[in-house]
Amino acid sequence: MKYFLIILFFAVAIALGVGFYIKVDDEATGKLIIGLSLMVGFLVLMPSFIYHRWKDKDVKDYMLNKENIMKMHEYQKKKKL
């Protein structure tokens, strides 16, 4: 998954660069390439990146509940000493 994300990121970045380069000569084709690369970036790259980063995480660790507030207070007290 990591390599898929890296390859897809560079593909989207290169497609954006090519789109801006082609836009100088042929505006319609350049805008099409830019738009398609942005769609792939937002509809494929971002969700797969978010899934990759959150797949082994527990959401309860990041929620602000009474137990986590107490942990934060204890951490701040230890930090001040």
User: Is pTM beyond 0.95 here?
Assistant: no
In the chain, domain spans: 2-80
Phi, psi of 45 (to 5 degrees): -65, -50
Give the confidence band of 62 by pLDDT, cuts at 50, 70, 90: confident
C-beta separation of 40 from 12 below 8 A: yes
| Alpha-helix runs per DSSP H in 1-81 | 2-23, 27-40, 46-54, 66-80
For 49-64, what is the mean pLDDT?
Answer: 88
Residue type, 7: I
Contacts of 9 (CB under 8 A, 6+ apart): 45
